[in-house]
Structure 1
């Protein structure tokens, strides 16, 4: 009998051991015992080398906060250290996750449907046609699913995001009307990250709940999760205003203070602490609940974690609001957030039940991705070597060119910003492989399948949205070659006449030719004055028109250089911050005046040739000047600068 009892106890112990080992494996067979040492070594070095003035980091695992630490000073003048529970940071687009959470809460309540035309929830209409392209009429309606996967097809206005005073950032209901971008792609077909799309989703939350957006999130997400130091109010409410970390940028050996940044609330206006963000991550990792309070059903969370859109089965795409990433064989759901001064990153490993959040000022958007990369390499190193087998295709030359991201303006003057930001250059090397340059770094890609190319370089990611290990060439809805990669961004090939090289070279040649002509005519005028000779009135008038055009062009270039200069603290063009000179309205008139002068110059060119009032060399010179004016007019027209 004693032997039987002993055997039963032994079997029970074995069963418990097996269950315990399986649970441990399910939670993730990892050892975070050195997390503080590891994080300190990496982050303190980053703080010192990159002059990061303040930073807050938290790591959660298996429902517990396993690391939480602040670095630097929330306020340098006051020598106030970062407090994990009370020091608030501006988390930028990480705010979007709260907008998507609110949307899914209302979906659970039956008040919203992800596949319904969003016009059903709005008190104004989103047009049912595209503004550009050959097939403009009646594309399929935009749905909440499109908004959550960044595929609504909206263009993007880079000058409508940041403002430095409350008066310049309109309230949400006014913003979604006044800054409504045009539809430029059919909904559900092209990934193009959209701040406006998220702001619109926030407005839908406001409309359906009949509560101001910030109040809805306060009542239905912050309070249940006990996030007492989080808010969407801009500026911060009085009781929290002293908690916000002062943002700085290190310039010429000292930290310069920045001002509060106003952004469209649901898309990036939230302020929070590392401690509060830990609770948010824990809720998602626990299937929508934290400390007994539920913000979402478990099935809803699992649905949000599943891929909803990708351009290709070899690319990470979009889950519901979360951006997909695959690293070292692990599935990651993440979202980055950037204001002009703050940078943040939130990373979830659902299978391992781990979350990481970091926020800091100082403006280095790569720091949070670098932290996560070394975190993954340290705790989840890849034991699989990736073998790339080139296909040896001969069609790679068709992909050579300049690609502009599809998160851009197509219809207003912001369109020209695509020439200075978000470009990918694709070239062909001697071996027939692609040489791809993004963010100033160049990598070699080899073709492994038709239209699919793999990065042969080793090392960290250079793309803020994904791993940039795979690129796939497809065709966009307008018939252009489209480069797609991981994350919520795509790039369409620009025609040669819209490339940055051609456009800027053209502008430089036009400006130099006008300057040279002005100098040449000035010298000739002095000579004629000395010799007391004169020219026919038609010639004098024609030259006067060209001189007026040249002076206007020089004034335009000088004004753009002054008003469009990059602010040293915010590292953005001043115009993008709403800082414009008093003469700014005049800049919108100058292209029109130059166009009128150009047309009149063209008429004078014909008259001068008919009357042979000039020598052939002078007529050819004036004709060339007129052609350059026509080309300048075309540039104004193409880039919507009127």
Structure 2
């Protein structure tokens, strides 16, 4: 008996010591007063909705292992006037769905069914294999979950404009694979396709359709009864009450979000209520468990929410299916999602045990950093958890010049644009132009911008490869590879870094060539003026009753000029059509479906241009006109070719092989 007692005391002592030494789930859990939280939300959300034209929203706040507040605002459906019910209204999650997909992959990894660092082709059929890059490094599930596989951001084939026209997930990843444009692991280049591949792995390895797997292993255990993945909204369970979607139009108006069929649904086509998202956040904050059910082991949750893809310790990083909101204490992780007129964003503070989700059924008439969900979450975190962006290390930011062993500032100078770019589609030009971030040496620092706003300012070096903006609101870190500076990343946007490019890789030389070509084409206006002068001259000669003896222009030569003029008019009409289409719902759908609606107009213009080029050859062979006139016609033909070549480079000309 004494032996048993001694052993019991020893066990109890070990347990007690272990409990004292082990860090608690929440080092400093926060307990929130529901009334204070409600007052906070009620004073901010309706006002922002009105300012930004958002029809409806729902917010859920969780803390200390339970839901604190769930609030609904506005209308779930403006047409019917149905109000938002936080408990019943399911909102499209957009890319928040990536967090669910990451959980599914990590569940398989826990069971030993997949290895996060093995070649992902191990789990894919041969027709869906991802080719190796020249570096020879394979793409892994780790790369997919951190958006570092190196894919271009080609979205063609992600959705079908016909809700019933969707394809299977397996067919989508085999048919619509984008090109690999970066070595795996070099850049965080946000990839919907990469997460779709991760979902396809779940489907193949588990032997269950992905939609069923998520319901059985994530939503069901957590009691998320109004949450689901779908390929079309009509497939959702009958008890779902989904919010409508409200898209901003280029003219500043609003239009209903179109119904679609989703092919890459693990990346962004799920639905959830705000309280359901609260249960998901409580599971992440509860070390993988909620309501007596466990979806992940504690160590797996730590791995998911950890810094899995880091550029610099003082810059926010990517986790698995999540990213850090900014660098600071306490640490905040989460995800934002938007999809054709719907937005959702959630953030959890593991140290405080607090989480918040904001869902909205409309686009915000505001910049990304000023959007309703961003402003509400940032203000909530600051007021109730003390979490604010603060990336300056102690004592940093005091100096400027290069210290011993630091790179010269000139190494960082150059042109940068978003790493996330579709090189195969017509979004290439607006993406590169809109994200171009030139950096130049400016005294003891750099002059550049590194955020959603394009305004340039002075940046001071606060560490090797680390710079702080003059307004004190942003920190940037430069990315190095093989001893060279290859990119930079902003602290508040770890999922969207910039890649360094040579001057000839920027749009500038291409656009200069297109502009010069247009000037040459405008010179065709000389032809009708010259023809009028000739006509007047001939008429005058006729009135005098004498022929001036000049040789008449051959009919074929006149036809050549008429053909060039017609080509110019067709090209102008095609350009006008493309400009009119850009930013419309049709164009947005084209980006997702791969429709050539933006590429057909200039492809049509290429037909008369081909005729002009053929007539240019004929003009020289048959010696139409004088040499200077022939040279001018040749310059016009070359200008047509140059302009269409630039348009083709930026994917605005459809070809049979595209």
Query: TM-score, normalised on structure 1?
Result: 0.83
> Is it true that 1:154 corresponds to 2:169 in the alignment?
no
For residue 378 of structure 2, what is the aligned residue in structure 1?
A: 373
Instruction: Please give the secondary structure, in 2, of the residue aligned with 1:85.
Output: coil
> Is it true that 1:98 corresponds to 2:100 in the alignment?
yes
Shift of 1:114: 0.7
Shift of 1:352: 0.8
Shift of 1:288: 0.9
Is the contact between residue 145 and residue 321 of structure 2 (CA under 8 Å) also seen in structure 1? yes
Structure 1: 5+ residue stretches without partners: 1-14, 131-135, 460-467
In structure 2, how many angstroms separate the alpha carbons of the residues matched to 1:571 and 1:163? 12
Shift of 1:137: 3.7
In structure 2, how many angstroms separate the alpha carbons of the residues matched to 1:249 and 1:293? 38
In structure 2, how many angstroms separate the alpha carbons of the residues matched to 1:454 and 1:104? 36
Shift of 1:615: 5.7
In structure 2, how many angstroms separate the alpha carbons of the residues matched to 1:118 and 1:109? 17
In structure 1, how many angstroms separate the alpha carbons of the residues matched to 2:346 and 2:255? 27
For residue 541 of structure 2, what is the aligned residue in structure 1?
A: none
> Is it true that 1:188 corresponds to 2:194 in the alignment?
no
Shift of 1:300: 1.2
Q: For the structure 1 residues 246 and 579, does the alpha-carbon distance in structure 2 shift closer, same or farther, using more than 3 Å as the test? A: farther
In structure 2, how many angstroms separate the alpha carbons of the residues matched to 1:576 and 1:23? 47
Q: For the structure 1 residues 347 and 620, does the alpha-carbon distance in structure 2 shift closer, same or farther, using more than 3 Å as the test? A: same
Shift of 1:239: 3.9
For residue 455 of structure 1, what is the aligned residue in structure 2?
A: 469
> Is it true that 1:409 corresponds to 2:422 in the alignment?
yes
Shift of 1:472: 1.4
Aligned length: 601
In structure 2, how many angstroms separate the alpha carbons of the residues matched to 1:128 and 1:238? 32
**Equivalence map 1:40-79=2 (5 Å):** 40-79=42-81
In structure 1, how many angstroms separate the alpha carbons of the residues matched to 2:361 and 2:315? 31
Is the contact between residue 343 and residue 359 of structure 2 (CA under 8 Å) also seen in structure 1? yes
Shift of 1:455: 1.9
For residue 247 of structure 1, what is the aligned residue in structure 2?
A: 245
Instruction: Please give the secondary structure, in 1, of the residue aligned with 2:233.
Output: coil
Structure 1 range deviating more: 101-110 or 592-601: 592-601
In structure 1, how many angstroms separate the alpha carbons of the residues matched to 2:579 and 2:215? 43
In structure 2, how many angstroms separate the alpha carbons of the residues matched to 1:50 and 1:448? 37
Is the contact between residue 476 and residue 492 of structure 1 (CA under 8 Å) also seen in structure 2? no
> Is it true that 1:631 corresponds to 2:645 in the alignment?
no
In structure 1, how many angstroms separate the alpha carbons of the residues matched to 2:503 and 2:556? 38
User: Any idea what the Cα deviations from partners look like across 1:567-609, whole Å, max 9, x if unmatched?
Assistant: 2xx596453365969x87854744764774575466468669x
Instruction: Please give the secondary structure, in 2, of the residue aligned with 1:320.
Output: coil
Shift of 1:240: 3.6
Q: For the structure 1 residues 485 and 594, does the alpha-carbon distance in structure 2 shift closer, same or farther, using more than 3 Å as the test? A: farther
Q: For the structure 1 residues 358 and 129, does the alpha-carbon distance in structure 2 shift closer, same or farther, using more than 3 Å as the test? A: same
Q: For the structure 1 residues 114 and 602, does the alpha-carbon distance in structure 2 shift closer, same or farther, using more than 3 Å as the test? A: farther
- RMSD between aligned alpha carbons? 3.5
**Equivalence map 1:432-447=2 (5 Å):** 433-436=446-449, 438-444=451-457, 445-447=459-461
For residue 522 of structure 1, what is the aligned residue in structure 2?
A: 528
Instruction: Please give the secondary structure, in 1, of the residue aligned with 2:195.
Output: helix
In structure 2, how many angstroms separate the alpha carbons of the residues matched to 1:600 and 1:147? 49
Which of residues 578, 582, 599 in structure 2 aligns to 1:565? 582
For residue 398 of structure 2, what is the aligned residue in structure 1?
A: 389
User: Any idea what the Cα deviations from partners look like across 1:82-108, whole Å, max 9, x if unmatched?
Assistant: 111110100100001111111111112
**Equivalence map 1:480-629=2 (5 Å):** 481-486=486-491, 487-514=494-521, 516-532=522-538, 534-535=552-553, 540=558, 543=561, 546-562=564-580, 564-567=581-584, 573=588, 575-576=590-591, 578=593, 586-587=600-601, 589-590=603-604, 593=607, 596-597=610-611, 600=614, 603=617, 613-614=625-626, 616=628, 618=629, 621-629=632-640
In structure 2, how many angstroms separate the alpha carbons of the residues matched to 1:25 and 1:145? 27
For residue 208 of structure 1, what is the aligned residue in structure 2?
A: 205
Is the contact between residue 591 and residue 636 of structure 1 (CA under 8 Å) also seen in structure 2? no
Is the contact between residue 567 and residue 605 of structure 2 (CA under 8 Å) also seen in structure 1? no
Structure 1 range deviating more: 97-106 or 408-417: 408-417
Structure 1 range deviating more: 206-215 or 163-172: 163-172
Shift of 1:542: 5.5
Shift of 1:527: 2.9
In structure 1, how many angstroms separate the alpha carbons of the residues matched to 2:308 and 2:220? 29
For residue 3 of structure 1, what is the aligned residue in structure 2?
A: none
In structure 2, how many angstroms separate the alpha carbons of the residues matched to 1:102 and 1:276? 17
Instruction: Please give the secondary structure, in 1, of the residue aligned with 2:449.
Output: strand
> Is it true that 1:122 corresponds to 2:124 in the alignment?
yes
For residue 10 of structure 1, what is the aligned residue in structure 2?
A: none
Is the contact between residue 560 and residue 612 of structure 2 (CA under 8 Å) also seen in structure 1? no
In structure 1, how many angstroms separate the alpha carbons of the residues matched to 2:184 and 2:220? 35
For residue 301 of structure 1, what is the aligned residue in structure 2?
A: 301
In structure 1, how many angstroms separate the alpha carbons of the residues matched to 2:347 and 2:586? 26
In structure 1, how many angstroms separate the alpha carbons of the residues matched to 2:456 and 2:381? 22
Q: For the structure 1 residues 268 and 128, does the alpha-carbon distance in structure 2 shift closer, same or farther, using more than 3 Å as the test? A: closer
Shift of 1:121: 1.0
Structure 1 range deviating more: 74-83 or 392-401: 392-401
Shift of 1:454: 1.5
Structure 1 range deviating more: 300-309 or 547-556: 547-556
**Equivalence map 1:1-400=2 (5 Å):** 26-28=27-29, 32=33, 34-126=36-128, 129=131, 136-137=133-134, 139-233=136-230, 234-237=232-235, 239-240=237-238, 243-249=241-247, 256-263=255-262, 264-364=264-364, 365=368, 366-381=371-386, 386=392, 388-393=397-402, 395-397=408-410, 399-400=412-413
Shift of 1:199: 0.5
Shift of 1:148: 0.9
Is the contact between residue 189 and residue 496 of structure 2 (CA under 8 Å) also seen in structure 1? yes
In structure 2, how many angstroms separate the alpha carbons of the residues matched to 1:92 and 1:572? 19
Q: For the structure 1 residues 427 and 624, does the alpha-carbon distance in structure 2 shift closer, same or farther, using more than 3 Å as the test? A: farther
Shift of 1:109: 1.7
Is the contact between residue 331 and residue 349 of structure 1 (CA under 8 Å) also seen in structure 2? yes
Shift of 1:119: 1.2
Shift of 1:217: 0.6
Structure 1 range deviating more: 597-606 or 274-283: 597-606
Is the contact between residue 349 and residue 355 of structure 1 (CA under 8 Å) also seen in structure 2? yes
In structure 2, how many angstroms separate the alpha carbons of the residues matched to 1:457 and 1:598? 55
For residue 11 of structure 1, what is the aligned residue in structure 2?
A: none
